[in-house]
């Protein structure tokens, strides 16, 4: 199927683990995505983590119905952690694939992400895979390296697909990961086969950001060793205080179209600037 940026025929599945004591940040995100991804047909698949407000789903369902957002909750809720949403991804995959609705592409993100550029649509329409493509290094200062190497599933996965060579594994990001639906189906089959279990629930000392390795590594299997992945569509700044310059720089470079955690300070100049960009985009739609 061929689409252009002015066509409403692109059907996009958005997968996200969500958490909160209120729906405010999710409601803000739903509105934000609708503006910057218009006129795509959006369906949001959401996994609500344990510990969220008991009225979270009810309140969000009411908001979505009132504002015209298409949302689907996973039937099953599993344990997740701030840095580890692998269990949620399993349920999101199952829910998206079992739902009687066809999609053309998938965008995986978190509930802390907001978009600031309509150009994100061109990247999704291109059919290129956005997930990041760094080499997995054993000798590294990455804080999760010991837990990842101790994960028997990762060792089994490396043995099965990479001849036991951990250097052939990849690292990327879950926020802003995008791919065509037919690629997502192939990815999902391997992910569920290798990582859909209860290992992370065995002890608090097992959890690590599995998706940062599993997603690009599986996609490398699907696409072939020579395929070059594009950067994630959404950036995750390492610094705490995001500035207007960060957004302006990203807009100028054209490689990132959203930011993670920018809404944690809704009084900041950067957040207010993003809201201005959103209002401008809404007027242009």
Q: Can you tell me the distance from the alpha carbon of 253 to that of 266, in angstroms, rounded to the nearest whole number?
A: 25
Segment 38-43 shows an average pLDDT of 97
Q: What domains lie within the chain, and their CATH numbers?
A: 11-235 (3.90.550)
Confidence of residue 7 (pLDDT cuts 50, 70, 90): low
Cα atoms in the Cβ-side hemisphere of radius 13 Å centred on 83: 11
pTM of the predicted model, to two decimals? 0.94
Confidence of residue 23 (pLDDT cuts 50, 70, 90): very high
Segment 109-119 shows an average pLDDT of 96
Confidence of residue 197 (pLDDT cuts 50, 70, 90): very high
Which is it for strands 177-180 and 105-108: parallel, antiparallel or unpaired?
antiparallel
Q: What is the mean pLDDT of the chain?
A: 93
pLDDT at 198 over 80: yes
Among 6-10, 40-44, 192-196, the range scoring the smallest mean pLDDT is 6-10
Q: Can you tell me the distance from the alpha carbon of 98 to that of 265, in angstroms, rounded to the nearest whole number?
A: 37
Q: What pLDDT is attached to residue 239? A: 82
Q: What pLDDT is attached to residue 70? A: 98
Q: What pLDDT is attached to residue 109? A: 97
Q: What pLDDT is attached to residue 1? A: 36
Q: Can you tell me the distance from the alpha carbon of 176 to that of 110, in angstroms, rounded to the nearest whole number?
A: 8
DSSP string, 233-275: SSB--SSS---HHHHHHHHHHTS--EEESGGG-TTSHHHHHHH
Q: Are 79 and 201 in contact (CB under 8 A)?
A: yes
pLDDT digits (tens, 9 = 90+) for 224-267: 999 999 999 999 888 888 999 999 999 988 889 999 989 989 99
pLDDT digits (tens, 9 = 90+) for 83-107: 899 999 999 999 999 987 889 999 9
pLDDT digits (tens, 9 = 90+) for 156-184: 999 999 999 999 999 999 899 999 999 99
Q: What pLDDT is attached to residue 60? A: 97
Segment 57-66 shows an average pLDDT of 97
How many C-beta atoms lie closer than 10 Å to residue 254's C-beta?
A: 11
Confidence of residue 204 (pLDDT cuts 50, 70, 90): confident
Q: What pLDDT is attached to residue 2? A: 37
Q: What pLDDT is attached to residue 8? A: 63
Tokens standing for residue 147: 């837990």
């Amino acid at each position: 199927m061929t689409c252009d940026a002015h066509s409403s025929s692109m059907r996009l599945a958005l997968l996200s683990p969500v958490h909160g004591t209120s729906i405010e940040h999710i409601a803000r995100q739903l509105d934000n995505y609708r503006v910057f991804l218009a006129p795509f047909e959006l369906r949001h698949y959401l996994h609500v983590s344990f510990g969220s407000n008991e009225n979270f789903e009810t309140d969000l369902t009411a908001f979505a119905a009132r504002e015209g957002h298409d949302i689907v909750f996973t039937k099953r809720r599993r344990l997740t952690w701030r840095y580890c949403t692998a269990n949620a991804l399993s349920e999101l995959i199952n829910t998206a694939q079992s739902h009687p609705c066809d999609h053309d592409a998938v965008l995986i993100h978190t509930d802390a992400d907001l978009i600031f550029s309509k150009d994100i649509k061109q990247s999704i329409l291109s059919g290129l895979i956005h997930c990041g493509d760094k080499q997995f290094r054993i000798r590294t200062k990455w804080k999760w390296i010991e837990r990842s190497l101790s994960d028997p599933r990762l060792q089994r996965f490396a043995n099965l697909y990479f001849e036991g060579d951990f250097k052939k594994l990849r690292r990327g990001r879950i926020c802003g990961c995008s791919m065509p639906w037919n690629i997502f189906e192939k990815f999902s089959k391997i992910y569920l086969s290798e990582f859909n279990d209860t290992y992370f629930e065995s002890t608090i000392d097992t959890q690590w950001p599995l998706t940062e390795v599993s997603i690009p590594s599986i996609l490398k299997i699907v696409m072939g060793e020579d395929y070059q992945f594009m950067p994630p569509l959404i950036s995750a700044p390492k610094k705490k205080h995001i500035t207007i310059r960060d957004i302006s720089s990203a807009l100028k470079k054209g490689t990132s179209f959203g930011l993670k955690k920018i809404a944690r300070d809704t009084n900041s100049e950067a957040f207010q600037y993003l809201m201005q960009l959103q209002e401008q985009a809404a007027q242009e739609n």
